[in-house]
A and B are shown apart, each in its own frame.
Chain A
């Protein structure tokens, strides 16, 4: 037996060598995608990926090298065992699930053999490997990064506020980190106290040529055509650097301070309350509201074994809050944080008064048919009459005189139809939620629906309602009782929030 094992080991070593050779020589064969970058405290390494059946995949042998994993193929069972320090993941060919330390984790696509290599979807890293690894593994798909361990890698987003002149732009750092600014004519350098930056910038114009990452991985450089100044403010764990660049007029060329601004002597890096900050703040996400459905006497759906919807929604909402607060640095308000009954208007007003950028209501579904299963996402549908009321209100509006003598126009949309102006965004939100849930949990035959939902109608922000599973389905009820499933659902909704925030900030910045 031992010799057999030794032979098998040797063969697998030889196979690994061949695989490595094949990797280096034929890795370009399949349609190449931009590689992912693995960022750890000490290094940045490339993770090559390929597109397989429209999904981005990574080769297990590449992961083995990068993460010091051992990968053993079980030809008889048609599967692979991936181990790291005694903890194992068992994956079977052509099945979109893996067993992580005995627990089943679903993947968006199955593991497949491509030539001599095994390909797994890139989500394998965050949803399976992360569970057996001794360091945090976070997949940031939008920025093409895989973050390993305790790396301070804040999201840094640069957006143009107004082309001016003076040209104004905002650079946001979330979660907030200490910032040092150096403003020179022609360029402003911003050094951020972090290991690296998860950087993205929209197109600039006016007196700002572009915003880019500097020579050091933790610096951002603003290339300008004038003299600029920067103001740093921090609120809700987001640091904002407001940049203002004025033209260097020939007659005032010796004056380094921007002439067109009527503000008093500007002092760089001093938190002067700038009216622009308020405007920038509306563009930047600060607060989201999670609504755990039902509560108090209203237990919601009840399973055969007595499990109640109200408790499950609160449990998942708390998990989601922890993820959003710790990883996105946003303020999260739960409409209820205990077992209490709240009217739907009270829930909507928590979101509206909290000026939330997003409302997600969590529910568990019920059906008279026990076979019915899967998650569903609902967003608001306005009937024709309500849509007409909103259209007229928006077209006519009302004019209010302001102190300055000008007139401010108001759209008088009925308060209980506040959602009317966010219908398009909510539709995007629902699609993103559906896509992210689909990666991690089973979906129903109608995964997305538009309906006259009472809570959503009164929400003055993009809003959607998620039914995570069917409590009336005995198998789903059993899964809902596990921590694993509740965390998976929270994780999926979290991923959707990340994606929707990126989309929302990008579309508003344009």
Chain B
């Protein structure tokens, strides 16, 4: 084979390869929007067109005071898990129960901080009003603790367990019964079945 024919074959093969590469790129590459059709919604958080909401499940005491009732409420949409958790907890702490349901968290209890570890443990730091305003009784205390634990875990799939802190510190209990020294998993045995979810 002369030098010239070798060179021609090489250029031909190269051209075929480039054609193949181009057609693959067309199949899998990004689809260009047709001109004049701009992306309608900006994904940038800095330009909220309208306050977006999520429907969160909060927990209140049942009318007979025995169980927790899941109740759906609109809560502002947030960008991060932690920020969303704060929104949900603020709603859980501040919203009054609608009759006939009853409130199970002492009024005036505030969220001091909320954060989530990589392991999926969330820490809910409450103001000491949760202790000073608590009426006592183990059932009351169980309902208080699990309304908070369940509302975090039910709405944030990234969270597996919740530990409640009081005034930034680990607490033994709220009213002398329920162990708060470890993160708690969700407890559905306290939730009234068959209620709206």
Contact B65 A367 (CB under 8 A): yes
A368 at the interface (CB under 8 A from B): yes
Q: Give the docked Cα–Cα distance between A242 and B136 (Å).
A: 49
- Say whether A457 faces chain B, with CB atoms less than 8 Å apart: yes
Closest to A364 in B: B137
Interface membership of A217, Cβ < 8 A: no
- Chain B residue numbers with a CB within 8 Å of A309 are 136
Which of chain A's residues has its CB closest to B137's CB?
Answer: A366
CA distance A386 to B182 in the complex (A): 9
**Do A365 and B179 touch across chains, with their CB atoms under 8 A apart?**
no
Is A383 touching B178 in the complex (CB atoms < 8 A)?
A: no
Interface membership of chain A positions 133-175, coded 1 if the CB is closer than 8 angstroms to chain B and 0 otherwise: 0000000000000000000000000000000000000000000
Q: Taking the complex as formed, is B139 at the interface, i.e. its CB lies under 8 A from any CB of chain A?
A: yes
Looking at the complex, which of B11-19, B71-79, B86-94, B169-177 is the stretch in contact with chain A? B169-177
Interface residues of A in 363-396 (CB under 8 A from B): 363-369, 371-372, 376, 378, 383-386
A301 interface contact, C-beta 8 A: yes
**Complex Cα spacing A451 to B189, Å:** 10
Residues A366 and B177 in contact, CB atoms below 8 Å apart: no
The answer on a CB contact under 8 Å between B178 and A454 is yes
- CB within 8 Å for A452 and B179 given contacts A368-B65, A384-B185: yes
Taking the complex as formed, is B55 at the interface, i.e. its CB lies under 8 A from any CB of chain A? no
- B63 at the A interface (CB under 8 A): yes
- Report yes or no: B137 in contact with A365, Cβ–Cβ below 8 A: yes
Tell me whether A486 is interfacial, beta carbon within 8 Å.
no
Report if A369-B63 is in contact (Cβ < 8 Å); known contacts: A383-B182, A383-B185, A472-B137: yes
The reply to whether B136 and A453 contact each other, CB–CB distance below 8 Å, is: no
The chain B residue sitting closest to A299, CB to CB, is B136
Beyond A368-B65, A371-B65, A452-B184, is A301–B135 a contact (Cβ under 8 Å)? yes
* Chain B 51-74 interface 0/1 with A at a Cβ cutoff of 8 Å (1 = within): 000000000010111100000000
Distance of A294 Cα from B140 Cα, bound (Å) = 15
By the criterion CB–CB under 8 Å, are A366 and B176 in contact?
Answer: no
In contact, B138 and A465 (Cβ under 8 angstroms):
yes
CA distance A368 to B136 in the complex (A): 10
Contact A457 B179 (CB under 8 A): yes
Complex contact A365–B135 (CB within 8 A)? no
Residues of chain A contacted by B184 (CB below 8 angstroms): 383, 452
Choice from B63, B102, B176, B189 contacting A294 with Cβ under 8 Å: B176
Collect the chain B residues with CB atoms within 8 Å of residue A299's CB. Answer: 136
B165 CB to nearest A CB, Å: 15
| A446 part of interface (Cβ distance < 8 Å) | yes
**Chain A nearest Cβ from B129, distance in angstroms:** 16
Distance in Å: Cβ of B136 to nearest Cβ of chain A: 4
Nearest CB of chain B from residue A277's CB, rounded to whole Å = 38
Chain B residues within 8 Å of A471, by CB: 137
Nearest-neighbour CB distance to chain A for B155, whole angstroms, equals 20
Mark B154-197 against chain A: 1 for CB-CB distance below 8 A, else 0: 00000001000000000011001111111111010100000000
Taken together as a complex, chains A and B put the C-alpha atoms of A363 and B175 apart, in Å, by 12
B186: min CB distance to chain A, Å: 10
* B95 → chain A closest CB, angstroms: 16
Residue A18 at the chain B interface, CB threshold 8 Å? no
Question: B104 near A: Cβ within 8 Å?
Answer: yes
Interface residue A416 (Cβ < 8 Å from any Cβ of B): yes
Q: Answer whether A369 and B185 are a contact pair too, CB < 8 Å, given A451-B178, A452-B178.
A: no
Residues of A within 8 A of B65 (CB): 367-369, 371-372
A446 touches B179 (CB 8 A): no
| Distance (whole angstroms) from the CB of B1 to the closest CB of chain A | 73
Q: How far is the CA of A455 from the CA of B181 in the complex (A)?
A: 12
Assess whether A218 is interfacial by the CB under 8 Å rule. no
B103: CB under 8 A from chain A?
Answer: yes
User: Which of these, A364, A368, A371, A454, contacts B173 with CB under 8 Å?
Assistant: A454
Determine whether A445 belongs to the interface, using a CB cutoff of 8 Å to chain B.
yes
Q: Which residues of A contact B189 (CB under 8 A)?
A: 450
- Contact between B66 and A368 (Cβ–Cβ < 8 Å)? no
Which A residues lie within 8 Å of B173 (CB)?
Answer: 344, 454
Contacting residues, chain A, for B138 (C-beta < 8 A): 363, 365, 376, 378, 451, 453, 465, 467
Q: Collect the chain A residues with CB atoms within 8 Å of residue B135's CB.
A: 301-302, 366, 368, 472
Cα A127 to Cα B17 in complex, Å, equals: 99
Q: Determine the distance from Cα of A416 to Cα of B66 in the docked complex, in whole angstroms.
A: 29
Query: Quick one: which of B64, B139, B183 contacts A376, CB cutoff 8 A?
Result: B139
Task: Give the complex CA separation of A302 and B137 in angstroms.
Answer: 10
Give the shortest distance, in Å, between A457 (CB) and chain B (any CB): 6
List the A side residues contacting B187 at CB < 8 Å.
451
B61 & A368 in contact (Cβ 8 Å cutoff): yes
Q: How far is the CA of A453 from the CA of B173 in the complex (A)?
A: 9
A293 to B136, CA, bound (A): 11
Contacts of A453 in B (CB 8 A): 138, 177-179
In the complex, B152 has a CB within 8 A of chain A: no
The complex places the Cα of A383 from the Cα of B146 at a distance, in Å, of 14
A301 touches B137 (CB 8 A): yes
Query: Is A372's CB under 8 angstroms from B66's CB?
Result: yes
Contacts of B161 in A (CB 8 A): 383, 385
Could you say which residues of chain B place their CB within 8 Å of the CB of A446?
A: 66
B126 interfacial contact with A, CB 8 Å? no
Interface flag for A444 (CB, 8 Å): yes
Given contacts A369-B63, A452-B184, A454-B181, contact A344 B137 (CB under 8 A): no
A454-B140 in contact (CB<8A):
no
Rounded to whole angstroms, the CA-CA distance of A470 and B63 in the bound complex is: 16
A251 within 8 A of B: no
Q: Quick check: is A250 within 8 A (CB to CB) of the other chain?
A: no
How near does chain A come to B38, taking the closest CB pair, in angstroms? Answer: 50
**Interface flag for B142 (CB, 8 Å):** yes
If A383-B184, A454-B172, A454-B177 touch, whether A365 touches B66 (CB-CB below 8 Å) is no
Other A-B pairs beyond A367-B65, A445-B64, 10, CB < 8 Å: A300-B136, A301-B136, A363-B138, A366-B140, A372-B139, A376-B139, A385-B183, A451-B177, A451-B187, A453-B179
9 pairs from A and B in contact (CB 8 Å cutoff): A294-B136, A366-B140, A368-B104, A369-B63, A369-B64, A445-B64, A452-B178, A465-B177, A467-B137
Q: Which residues from chain A sit less than 8 Å from chain B, CB to CB?
A: 293-294, 298-302, 309, 343-344, 363-369, 371-372, 376, 378, 383-386, 416, 444-446, 449-455, 457, 465, 467, 470-472
Q: Which 7 A-B pairs give the minimum distances between C-beta atoms? A: A366-B137, A369-B65, A454-B179, A301-B136, A367-B65, A372-B65, A452-B179
